[in-house]
Structure 1
Amino acid sequence: MDRAERLGTERILPLLLKFSVPAIVGMLVQALYNVVDRIFVGNGVGPLGLAGLSLVFPIMLVQMAFVMLVGLGATAVISIRLGEGRRDEAEKILANALGLLLIIALAGMTAGLLFLDPVLRLMGASEAVMPYARDYLSIILYGAVFQAVSFGLNHMIRAQGSPAIAMATMLIGAISNTILDAVFILRFGWGVKGAAWATIMAQALSMVWVLSYFLRGKSELRLNWRAVPRIELTIVKQIAAIGFAPFAMQLAASVQNFILNQSLIRHGGDLAVSAMSVVFSLNTLILMPIFGINQGAQPILGYNYGAKQYQRVRQTFLYAAGAATLVVNMGFLATRLFPQQLVSLFGKEDVQLMALGLRAVRTVMICMPVVGLQIVGANFFQALGKPKKAAVLSLSRQVLLLIPLLFILPRFYGLSGVFAAYPAADAGATAVTVSLVWREFAALGRAQAETDAAVLQPR
C-alpha cells in the first residue's frame, strides 16, 4: 500500500495523529519565527522596535497570502486528485505550483523594495518607529523567494503522505532562526536588522531542505522541472479556486492589522501597538497547533471526499474540532493563570508596556475557547474543494465582523473598544461556523446513504 492509499483505509484517529502531531510540532516551531523575533527585539531594542515589527506585519501578511493561495490551493487539489487515482495530474499541479510561487515571490520583492517608504508611511509608522520598520522590512523582502518555495512546497510534501519531512522543514527553519536571533541581536547588537537577517537565512535553509527532498527522488510525486515554467491556465484556476479561502483569510488579516494599527495609534499611540504585538505573539503560540491540526486533517479530508468515503470525512472533522478545542482551552487557561509571566517575556523592564500588555491579553482572549472550532470549520470546506463556504468562514471573523467592530467600538470605548472587538468577532464567527458545518454534515450523510445504496444494488 502506498502512502497516499493509507488516507482512505487506516483508522481515522491514529491517522490524524500521525499527520497532525508532526504538523503541530512544526507549526509551533514555525511560530518562533515571529515570536522569537519579538522576544529578542523587545528585550534587546525596546517597545519602539516591537512597534516597528507590528507595523510591518500587515505587509508580510499580504506576501504570505499569495503564497498560501498557491501552496494551500495546490495541496488541496493534489490530495483530491490522489484520492481519485489521477497521479499524473497531481504531478502536473505540483510543477505549476512551483512556477507560480517563484513568480509571486519575485514580483512581491520588487514591488516592496520600490515603494518601501510610502508603504510604511501608509501603515502609520511615526518618525520614531520608521527607522525600525524600514530596517526590518528592507531585509525581509530579499527572502521572499526562500519563504515562498519552502512554505509552499512543504504543504505539498504533507499532501503526499510525508508529514515527518514537512515537520523537519519547519524545525530546521525555526531552530536556526532562534539561534541566529540570539547571535545577531544579543551578541552582535544588530537590533531589528539582526532579526530580519536571522529570518531570511533560516528560510533559505528550509528551502534547501525542501528542494533536496525532491532532488533526491524521495517524494511520492515526481517534480518535472521542465514543466515548472509551462504554467497552464486551467491548473491555475483550479489552484486559485480552492486556495482563495486561505488567501482571502490572510489578505483580510492584513487589512484588519492595518485598521487595527491605525486605531491603536489613534487611541493609545506607539505603546498600544507594542502591547498588541505581545498579544499577537501569545495568540500565535496558542493558534499554531490548530493550523497544524488543519494541515494534518486536510489530506485525509480531501482524499476521502474524493474517494466518496463520506463517513470518514465526518469522523475526521469531529476529531480535528475536538483536538482544536482542547488546545485553545489550554492556551486560554495559561493566559488566565500566568498573564504576568507571559507578558514579561517581551520586556519586563518597561513598566508601561507590562501594564498595557496585561490589560490587552485579559480582554482580547476572552472568547479564545471557541476559536478552535471556527478555524477548523473553515479548513473543512477548503479541504472538500468548496471555496465559497470556506471563504465565508475565513472572512467572517476578520472582515465581516472584526473590521466593522474595530470602527464602531473604539468610537464609544476608546482603546478598550479596540481590545473588545476581538472576542465579539470570535463569538459571532463561531456561530456562523456551527450553522454551516451542521448543514454540510447533513449533506454528507445523504451522500453516504446514496453511495452505500449504489454499492448494494445488484448488478
Structure 2
Amino acid sequence: MQKSMIEGNTLKLILNFSIPLLLGNLFQQFYNVVDAAIVGQTLGSKALAAVGASSSVQFLILGFCMGICQGFAIMVSQSYGAKRLDEMQTYIYAGAVWTAITAFVISILVVVFCADILHILQVNHEIFKDAYAYLVVIFAGIPFTLLYNYLSAILRAIGDSKTPFFFLAFSAVLNIGLDFFCILVLKWGCAGAAIATIFAQAVSGILCLLLIAFKVNVLHVPKSSRYMDKKHSIKLLAMGVPMGLQFSITAIGSMVMQSANNALGTIYVSGFTAGMRIKSLMMCPFDALGAAVSTFLS
C-alpha cells in the first residue's frame, strides 16, 4: 500500500500520485452533478434550488473540515518520509483526536444554527423547508465526511492515492443508486438526497478504516503512541487550521454573492446551482495537483 515519494523522477512521482486524486475529485464532482440532475429531474426546479441555495456555506464549512484533514496529514507525511515512525504514529493519534473534536463541535454548532444560516443567505420562503431539510442532514453528517477525509489523507501521506480513489468511486456509484431509492422509492425528497450523500460518505470512510485495520500495519497506533501533548498538538493545529482556512476562505465572497442571488427567486437559484456544479468539475485538476504537490513536498 505504502510507496516511497522520495526516490525516483520528481515529475513522474507527482503525476502518478496526482492522477488518482484527479480521478477521485472528478468522481466526487460527477456525483454532485448527478445528484443535482436527479433532484431537478425528479423533484423539480424548486427542489434543485433548495439543494443549491446553501452551496456556498457548505463549501465554507466542509472546505474547512477537508482542509484541516489535509493539513494534519502533512505532519504524518513528513514523519513518514523521515522514517520517524514513532512520531508519525503519535501524529496519527493526535490528528484523529483533533479531527473528532472538530467534527463534534462544528456539526453541533451548524445544526443548531442551520435555520439562521439560511436566513442570512436570504433563502426564499418557497424553498426554505426543503433547503433546511437538506442542509441539516448534510451538517449532521459532518463526522462521516471527516472520517473519510482524514483516513484517506493519511493513506495518501504514505504514498497511497489509489485506494482512496477506488473507495470514492464506489461511494459515488452507491450515492447515485441511493439517490433514486431515497427520492423515488422512499419519497424522502431533498432530505433523501442528503441522506444518500452522507451514507455514501460513511461507507467510503468505513472502507478506509477497515483497510487500515487489516492491511496497513504502518498506520497502526500502538498504546505507547496514544497520547496527546502540547508539542504535537501545536504542530498539527499550526498546519491544519491555516490549511482549512485556505480551503474555505473564498467561500465568504461566494456567500455574499449567493445571498444576493437567492433574493432574486427560485429560477435564478436553480441556474446558479447548475453553474456551480459545472464550475466545481472544472476546478478538479487544480485541486488534485495542489494536493499531490503538498504531499510530495512534505
Is TM > 0.5 for Structure 1 vs Structure 2?
A: yes
The equivalences for 1:36-435 within 5 A come to 36-224=34-222, 230-266=227-263, 268-302=264-298
CA offsets per residue over residues 282-306 of structure 1, 9 Å max, x none? 111111232222233332222xxxx
CA offsets per residue over residues 333-372 of structure 1, 9 Å max, x none? xxxxxxxxxxxxxxxxxxxxxxxxxxxxxxxxxxxxxxxx
Q: What SS does the aligned partner of 2:262 have?
A: helix
CA offsets per residue over residues 2-37 of structure 1, 9 Å max, x none? 945x31211223322321121111111111342222
Matches of 1:81 and 1:168, distance apart in 2: 26
Equivalent pair of 2:67/2:246 in contact (CA under 8 Å)? no
Please identify the structure whose Cα radius of gyration is greater.
1
Matches of 1:138 and 1:3, distance apart in 2: 37
CA deviation after TM superposition for structure 1 residue 145, in Å? 1.2
Read off the aligned partner of 2:280 and give its amino acid letter.
T
1:453 aligns with none
Equivalent pair of 2:64/2:245 in contact (CA under 8 Å)? no
Read off the aligned partner of 1:258 and give its amino acid letter.
M
Matches of 1:144 and 1:293, distance apart in 2: 25
Read off the aligned partner of 1:238 and give its amino acid letter.
K
Equivalent pair of 1:154/1:169 in contact (CA under 8 Å)? no
Gaps of 5+ in 2: none
Read off the aligned partner of 1:251 and give its amino acid letter.
S
Read off the aligned partner of 1:293 and give its amino acid letter.
L
2:28 aligns with 30
CA offsets per residue over residues 194-246 of structure 1, 9 Å max, x none? 20110111011011111112211425332347856x43332232222223443
Matches of 1:56 and 1:190, distance apart in 2: 19
TM-score, structure 2 normalization = 0.90
Q: For the structure 1 residues 231 and 57, does the alpha-carbon distance in structure 2 shift closer, same or farther, using more than 3 Å as the test?
A: farther
CA offsets per residue over residues 22-77 of structure 1, 9 Å max, x none? 11111111113422221111112222222222222233233324423431111222
Q: For the structure 1 residues 298 and 254, does the alpha-carbon distance in structure 2 shift closer, same or farther, using more than 3 Å as the test?
A: same
Matches of 1:233 and 1:243, distance apart in 2: 15
Q: For the structure 1 residues 226 and 117, does the alpha-carbon distance in structure 2 shift closer, same or farther, using more than 3 Å as the test?
A: farther
Q: For the structure 1 residues 225 and 25, does the alpha-carbon distance in structure 2 shift closer, same or farther, using more than 3 Å as the test?
A: farther
Read off the aligned partner of 2:171 and give its amino acid letter.
G
Matches of 1:111 and 1:71, distance apart in 2: 19
Q: What SS does the aligned partner of 1:175 have?
A: helix
CA offsets per residue over residues 252-294 of structure 1, 9 Å max, x none? 233122101122234x433222212111101111112322222
CA deviation after TM superposition for structure 1 residue 94, in Å? 1.0
CA deviation after TM superposition for structure 1 residue 162, in Å? 1.2
Read off the aligned partner of 1:222 and give its amino acid letter.
H
Read off the aligned partner of 1:246 and give its amino acid letter.
M
CA deviation after TM superposition for structure 1 residue 124, in Å? 1.2
TM-score, structure 1 normalization = 0.60
Q: Would you say how many aligned residue pairs link Structure 1 and Structure 2? A: 298
Equivalent pair of 2:137/2:191 in contact (CA under 8 Å)? yes
CA deviation after TM superposition for structure 1 residue 127, in Å? 0.7
Read off the aligned partner of 1:151 and give its amino acid letter.
N
Matches of 1:188 and 1:54, distance apart in 2: 22
CA deviation after TM superposition for structure 1 residue 119, in Å? 2.1
Read off the aligned partner of 1:286 and give its amino acid letter.
M
Matches of 1:227 and 1:81, distance apart in 2: 14
Equivalent pair of 1:22/1:163 in contact (CA under 8 Å)? yes
Q: What SS does the aligned partner of 2:141 have?
A: helix
Gaps of 5+ in 1: 303-459
Matches of 1:181 and 1:219, distance apart in 2: 36
* Percent of residue pairs identical: 23
Q: What SS does the aligned partner of 1:212 have?
A: helix
Matches of 1:66 and 1:231, distance apart in 2: 23
Per mean C-alpha deviation after superposition, the further-off stretch among 217-226 and 287-296 is 217-226
CA offsets per residue over residues 107-166 of structure 1, 9 Å max, x none? 222222322322221221111120111110222233221111111221110111111112
